[in-house]
Structure 1
Amino acid sequence: MNQSEANLHAIDYWQVIKNRYGVILLTFLLVFMTALVITYVMPKKYESKAVVQVRPKGTSANLIPGTGDNNRAAMEMGQTFFPTEFEVIRAQKTLDKAIEDLDLVNKWNSEPEAVRRTLRSIVDAENIRGTALIEIRVRYSDPKDAQAIAKAVSEAYRERRTKQQSEFAVQAMEQLRRAVQQQEDAVEDKRKLLSQIIRQEKIIYQGDQSLFQGSGGFNEADDAENATKAFLALEQDKIQLESQIETLLKYDGEQLLNYAGGLGLPDNIIPTLLPQYQEQKREFEGMKSSGLGSRHPTVEGQAAIIDKMQQDLVEAVANLREILKAKLELAKEQSLKLEARMNEKKDGAIKKGIANQAFVDAKNDFETSQRLLEQLKIKQISEEMNQKVIEEPIIIHEEPTLSQVPVSPNIKLNLALGAVVGLIFGVGVAFFLEYLDTSVKTLEDVERYLQVPVLAVIPKDVGVLYKQSGMSPDAEAYRILRTNIEFNRKNPEDNAITVVSGGAGEGKSTTLVNLAYICAQGGYTTLMIDADLRRPRLHTFFDINNSVGLTNYLTTELMLEDVILQTPVDNLYFMPSGILPADAAGILNSRRMSELIQDVKQRFDLVLVDSPPILGVSDASVLASEVDLTMIVVQHRKLPRNMLLRVKQAVENVGGHVIGVVLNNVDVRSDSQYQYYTSYYTYYAPAESQAPAPSSSPNQPAAQRPSSRSSKDDSKQDLY
């Protein structure tokens, strides 16, 4: 199927259903009756159910607040809780307990394994949505047994659940007692370790507060830090002294004096002497500038003062250098002592820190273990008190009852499903057959695959028109055919047409007779030649003797007037087939046959030649080569499309020309796509019509019939 066929419109789908409603109805009835029979033969089953409530461990009220294990209860009531409980209900141990209580092995006289399998197949469980309730359902052929089994299974399940929960509680309590004992031993060991550290390190332990004896408010870490700071400060002073001494040794003269004067030391007299010395020098220079000579008593006295002050400065600088050296030596000695003290304090701080950390770790470990022990003891007390309270894990809210009405089979449901499935299956079969059906279904099929026009659509069950009383509305289809032949033949002289079909029974002969009748009614002198020398039928439509006809003319010296007869219809003439020969194709493929065709073309307005099926024998191919045009009759929904292509190719291979196709035997009532093509002619059909009166007997020779058209030439008038 191509894309256009795959994308059918909704109307096309409805058309398929209408065309194959018989298949759909048959399939529907078969499936529906099958469902009815299956429902009838199915054994009746009765249902009994018990409704129970499941209470996981930990959902009961806690006597001591804060000790409830809500997380465990939430985990138990997870997604897998109810599926697990369903399997527990149908488990072997539960069913075995029910079998034992009801003595089903002896009651059913069967093996234990067989009884167990039977119970597993009839027992089912389901959670009631949004609740913690479970329905335990039993379906069995005996309503009393169904009730008893449902009750026994629910009781067995309750007993198993109660026993399991009790055993679990005992085991949990025993594990809790062991955990408390082990924790008590661990707390005692940690307490002993903490006491040992306290005694060794002389720590005053008072709950969360602890002091190291002899610390005086300071710890070893503080002492080590202070010693380090003092050592670093002294080292800084020592470096400064060394720098000052090096600078004093490096400078001389005025630079030395200026640098020494800037040192802020308590024994330094240079800052006092240096300004005086500089003032005396300025006065000395002033004297010399005033014109006094170097030997002037005043100048010499001033020079002596300056020399004395300069000598004092030099001695002061020397003394300052010695003072700095002394201080440096003292600083070095103090640095060594402070370094030793600093190292000692650091070692002590490290030892005390290690001891303190061991104490802190031991104290924290002891206190943590002690708190855990207290929690375990509280949990133990809570569990012991909760065990004294009776907790029922399974509560039965609804006891099984005796069912009076069977729940299976559900007759209404089964029949409804049978009807729906039958309808769906029937429609599916119809569309599947439609998919497999490659026959011609539409006008588009013919024109697409054969590339020739459809000349007419002939409705289904159209009989022989000339035998019908009055003017039949079905005749309009053949009038359309006559009109389309006129407009589709290119040459008006092409008036010899053979009618062929792919197979037998497609309505070829009936189409030819009705077309000839309509053409004769329209004033055409029409000749029908029965060239089907295998199974001739045209003579049966007119009740004419078939003993003399075409074969006699082709094999003897008979005249044309001897083998052409006029029918009861005006302007309609007929040449029977004659005696059937042994070699039909050889007789038709003769020069006399060609001369016959050329002769009757001149004598008649229209010559219609009937032929056997073209795919069965070669006669039709011979006739297609002799006549001017070939018209193919195709029965609706019969031959596959590839067979129709072979029909066309058979005509074209011998040089014939296909004028078009007649789509025959179309059920316009079911195929709505043809209604527009065939409905209008019935609208114009007259309400009362008159049948033409026959003018002569059927077996009267054509030479004795009057002419129906005076416009024909003399050669045509010879036959009239």
Structure 2
Amino acid sequence: MQNPDPNQSEANLHAIDYWQVLKNRYGVILLTFLLVFLTAAVITYVMPKKYESMALVEVKPIVEVDPTMTRAAGGTAVPMTRQFMNTQFEIIVAEETLELAIDKVQLETRWGENRKTVIALLKGMIKTSQRRGTDLIEISVRHRKKDDAKIVAQAVYEAYEERRRMIERGIRDDQLKAIKGQLQNKSDRVAELRKRLMDIAEKSGIIYWETEKGGNTQGISSGLVEIAEKELYQAKRDKEQLSFQLNKLLTLSREELIAVAAELPEVGFQEYYNKYIEAKRELQQMLAQGFGENHPDIVMRKTGITELEASLERRAHNVRDSLKHKLDLLEGRVEKMQEVVNAQKEEGTVTARDIQEFNIARKEYQTALAIKDNMDIQYDREKTKLEMPMTNIVVHQYPQIQDNAVSPNVPLNLALGAVVGLIFGVGIAFALEYLDTSVKSLEDVERFLKVPVLAVIPKDVGVLHKQAGSSPDAEAYRILRTNIEFNRKNPEDNSITVVSGGAGEGKSTTMVNLAYICAQGGYTTLMIDADLRRPRLHTFFDINNSVGLTNYLTTDLLLEDVILQTPVDNLYFMPSGILPADAAGILNSRRMSELIKDVKQRFDLVLVDSPPILGVSDASVLSSEVDLTMIVVQHRKLPRNMLMRVKQAVENVGGHVIGVVLNNVDVRSDNQYQYYTSYYTYYAPSGDESPTEQSQKQTAAAAEPKKVTEQDDDLY
């Protein structure tokens, strides 16, 4: 069966073990959280306080006038698009606008900086935004001084309003200039066509005269004498009527002249007169509403009325002059018609071609004249309207001084510091977990080493033979003893060396406790302290270390001279002896091999303590001499690649790894190991014990020597 991919298994483990990572790394998370939170608090504390003053304005689009006068009167407005609002934001912070604001409140003198620096400071403190769901613009200014914030905010919106008015005035002037140019071209065209018409009429002998409704002609045609006589009669009547109107106009005052002229059928005069009357009525209403004589709107209205009145008077005089001209024309016409009637009978008629040419020229002239008159009326109307000041910016909120500082936002900064600190802490915790290649679980051991985990030893387990009464810690070693029995393929393989990858993994303590449990189980057990670098076993039993293994290997001493009986039944101990100069050479000897064979026959179980296998070569030598090798691995300490090198070092010398002891496991934080140590609950003190019995046990435990833990074994 194919083995699963280690990387895939590791990924699955991380996916379902997030909570475990947080529990194991809570110290890093807490430290990171505190550092980031305190940093945010310090930064917030040292940040200067800033106060905000805000103006709320409504910006109206600039009206564009159609120079061709083909659209409806009043022009069109630029639509309020997102680009329009963004453009206004840029105009507000443009250098031209800021320079106007600087000049208004003399910021250069107030702040003691040059203009370029003041502009840069203003750009940094001015913030523009569009209020959601409206066309309102918020112009806010933040400054360390309350008064300066208000003054700058007011100066900025006033400068922006002034620039908008300048821009609009320029646009209006350009538009009116273009309209005036078009109107002048139309006037020149009308004059040209009129001259051409009159030339054709003179050439063709056609009598043409203009009236308010157009123009009349009289040609000489044979057979039309009767018609000519009727027209002559009508011309005489028109002359008399026109003469009466003219005499009446000459005797009227200015106001009467305007009123009477409005009733005349002059093109566009009545409409213009109605506008004049309406303007006067609106002026009276405004005065009735309480507006003063010097109010801008009253002055503006009076100016408009004066202009309209002057225009009407000018037009009335033009009408009177026109009537005079028409009267002259009619008099000439009557005379001419009389001559025509008399001459028509004698001379005949004009040719049809001349009449057709005249009609075409007359139509062109009348069309151009109508267009020109309409443009003249529209120009006067638009000029009057555009000359009236328009408010394109409406202020809905003037800048005010806020008592509370808006920056720094202490609650927000601290909340962000807490959130960022927590996120960073969790991120660092998972990063460390990802980078941590140490052994974290039983699956790590079995996946990488392909050997079983014989036992899980909890954290802070003491030396069992120095503890009073029945200790729950002993059950872990009973499990270890049982697993050793069932994992030995050959019952005669009773010599085991205990190795570790590095110092401080609890190898010696594990071996002493295992030997104690085996001795309690009826096994005659021998412990050999073969760690000739830093021997440790003799300290567990308070035994002299002067005579032991090295003495036996280098002299002719007997085993009885170096094997000592411990206070524990069935448990024997061989100290290390005097430390030699060449430990590996002494262990890799024929006498050492004979020693192992001899003690295997005398004892049921032989446990050999060795130095760390990755540090020195002694452990490899011992692994080749004994039957089995047991590796002690401290939880979350040794990297996996080093653990694999430990096994490889044993196998390279022909040793056989029986299994691994996972030591120093914190079962309170690593939930996956709690079911391995459920015997703690089972061995908890029973409620049936009397207080006296519990007191006696506590007294006996206090009388024992200080408990030696795995942490005391860190020198190894």
1:542 matches 2:549:
no
Matching residue within 126, 142, 148 for 2:129: 126
Residue equivalent to 2:459: 460
| 3-state SS, counterpart of residue 670 of structure 1 | coil
Pick from 146, 151, 170: which aligns with 1:148? 151
Conserved? CA contact 1:140–1:146, under 8 Å? yes
Counterpart position of 1:425: 424
Task: Give the TM-score taking structure 2 as reference length.
Answer: 0.70
> Is this contact kept in 2: 1:28–1:425, CA < 8 A?
yes
Describe the superposition over 1:245-270 as per-residue Cα deviations: whole angstroms up to 9, x where unpaired: xxxxxxxxxxxxxxxxxxxxxxxxxx
Q: CA deviation at 1:185?
A: 3.8
Please state whether the residue corresponding to 1:553 is helix, strand or coil: helix
Partners of 2:442 and 2:203 lie apart in 1 by 116
CA deviation digits over 1:363-402, x for unaligned, max 9? Answer: 9999997787577546424422322433111121211111
Distance apart, 1:176 and its partner CA:
1.1
Aligned to 1:522: 521
CA 96–587 in structure 1, closer or farther in 2 if over 3 Å, else same: same
Pairs within 5 Å for 1:38-437: 38-58=43-63, 66-70=72-76, 72-74=77-79, 77-186=80-189, 376-377=375-376, 379-437=378-436
Deviation string 1:535-564 (CA, Å, 9 cap, x unpaired) is 000011111110011111111111111111
- Supply the AA of the counterpart residue of 1:45: K
Residue 444 of structure 1 corresponds to which residue in structure 2? Answer: 443
Paired amino acid for 1:4: S
Q: Considering only CA atoms, is the larger Rg found in Structure 1 or Structure 2? A: 1
Q: Indicate the larger mover: 508-517 or 92-101.
A: 92-101
Is 1:16 aligned to 2:16, yes or no?
A: no
1:51–1:549 CA distance, 2 compared to 1 (3 A):
same
Q: List per-residue Cα deviations over 1:107-155 (Å, max 9, x = no partner).
A: 2222121111111111111111222211110100000111111111111
Work out the CA distance in 1 between the residues paired with 2:657 and 2:73.
101
1:461 deviates by 1.1
Q: Deviations over 1:422-480 (max 9, x none)?
A: 00011111111111111111111111111111111111111111112211111111111
Structure 1 distance, partners of 2:133, 2:380, is: 35
Cα distance in structure 1, aligned partners of 2:635 and 2:168: 79
Q: Distance in 1 between matches of 2:634 and 2:192?
A: 109
Find out whether 1:499 has 2:506 as its counterpart. Answer: no
User: Does the aligned pair in 2 maintain the 1:477–1:681 contact within 8 Å?
Assistant: no
CA distance in 2, matches of 1:361, 1:645: 113
CA distance in structure 2 between the aligned counterparts of 1:200 and 1:476, rounded to whole angstroms: 140
The superposition leaves residues 574-619 of structure 1 with CA deviations (integer Å, 9 ceiling, x where unpaired) of 1100000111111111111111111111111111100000011110
Number of equivalences: 539
Which AA in structure 2 matches 1:83?
N
Is the Cα contact below 8 Å between 1:50 and 1:150 reproduced in 2? Answer: yes
CA distance in 2, matches of 1:650, 1:22: 36
Query: Which stretch of the first structure deviates more once superposed, 530-539 or 125-134?
Result: 125-134
CA distance in 2, matches of 1:511, 1:366: 124
TM-superposed deviation, 1:168 = 1.7
Asked if the contact 2:180–2:379 (Cα under 8 Å) also holds between the matched residues in 1, the reply is yes
User: Counterparts of 1:430 and 1:441 in 2: how far apart (Å)?
Assistant: 15
Q: 1:631 to 1:8 in 2, by over 3 A?
A: closer
Contact conserved, 2:511 with 2:609, CA < 8 A, in 1? yes
Q: What is the distance in 2 between the residues matched to 1:113 and 1:415?
A: 36
Equivalent position SS for 1:581: coil
- Measured in 2, the distance between the counterparts of 1:538 and 1:574 equals 9
CA distance in 2, matches of 1:414, 1:684: 52
Q: Which residue of 1 aligns with 2:566?
A: 567
Whole-Å Cα distance in 2 between the matches of residues 642 and 200 of structure 1? 120
Q: Which runs of 5+ in 2 are unaligned?
A: 1-5, 205-212, 215-355, 706-716
In the aligned structure 2, how far is the partner of 1:172 from the partner of 1:59?
8
| Alpha-carbon separation, structure 2, partners of 1:359 and 1:553 | 151
1:488/1:659 contact within 8 Å kept: yes
Distance 1:529 1:370, change over 3 A: farther
CA RMSD of aligned residues (A): 3.4
The answer to whether residue 628 in structure 2 is matched with residue 629 in structure 1 is yes
Residue by residue, what CA displacement relative to the aligned partner does 1:634-669 show, whole Å, maximum 9, x if unpaired?
A: 111111111111110110011000000011111111
Partner Cα separation in structure 1 for residue 134 and residue 375 of structure 2: 34
Shift of 1:24: 0.8
**Alignment partner of 2:469: what SS?**
coil
Q: For residue 637 of structure 1, what is the amino acid of its counterpart?
A: R
Matched residue type, 1:142 = K
Contact 2:53 2:140 in 1 (8 A): yes
Give how far 1:684 is off.
4.6
Deviation at 1:495, TM superposition (A): 0.6
Deviates more, 1:51-60 or 1:112-121: 51-60
Cα distance change, pair 459–195 in 1 and its aligned pair in 2 (3 A): farther
Q: SS of 1:172's equivalent?
A: helix
**Which digits, 9 at most, give the CA deviation of each residue in 1:343-382, with x for residues without a partner?**
xxxxxxxxxxxxx9x9999999999977875775464244
1:458 maps to amino acid: I
Correspondence for 1:37 among 36, 42, 48 = 42
Q: Secondary structure at the match of 2:17?
A: helix
CA contact (8 A) 1:24 1:423 kept: yes
> How far does residue 3 in structure 1 lie from its aligned partner after superposition?
2.5
Structure 1 residue 677, shift from structure 2 partner: 2.1
1:705-720 counterparts in 2 under 5 A? none
Determine helix, strand or coil for the equivalent of 1:80. helix
Judged with a 3 Å threshold, the aligned counterparts in structure 2 of structure 1 residues 654 and 370 are, in CA distance, closer, same or farther, namely: farther
Q: Tell me the CA shift for residue 7 of structure 1.
A: 3.7
The answer (yes or no) to whether the contact 1:476–1:682 under 8 Å persists in 2 is: no
* CA distance 1:196–1:466, shift in 2 (3 Å): farther
1:29-85 deviations in Å (ceiling 9; x for gaps): 11111101100000000001111111112399xxx9932433x422xx222111111
Percent of aligned pairs with the same amino acid: 69
Give the conservation status (yes or no) of the 8 Å contact 2:498–2:608.
yes
Farther off after superposition, 674-683 or 79-88:
674-683
Contact 2:459 2:667 in 1 (8 A): yes
**Residue type matched to 1:153 in 2?**
V
Who is 1:6 aligned against? 11
Counterpart residue type for residue 83 of structure 2: T
Query: How has the CA–CA distance of structure 1 residues 632 and 186 changed in structure 2, closer, same or farther, with 3 Å as cutoff?
Result: farther
1:440–1:65 CA distance, 2 compared to 1 (3 A)? same
Q: What is the distance in 2 between the residues matched to 1:536 and 1:630? A: 19
Q: Which runs of 5+ in 1 are unaligned?
A: 208-355, 699-720
Give distance in 2, aligned partners of 1:662 and 1:374: 112
C-alpha distance in 2 between matches for 1:134 and 1:585: 87
Counterpart Cα distance in 1 of 2:35 and 2:417: 9
Q: What is the SS of the residue equivalent to 1:98? A: helix
Q: CA deviation at 1:190?
A: 7.3
Is residue 74–residue 382 contact of structure 2 (8 Å, CA) maintained in 1? no
Q: Secondary structure at the match of 2:534?
A: coil
CA distance in 1, matches of 2:140, 2:475: 73
Determine the structure 2 residue equivalent to 1:580: 579
- 1:564 and 1:573 in contact (8 A); partners too: yes
1:645 corresponding residue in structure 2: 644
SS at match of 1:631: strand
Counterpart AA for 2:533: R
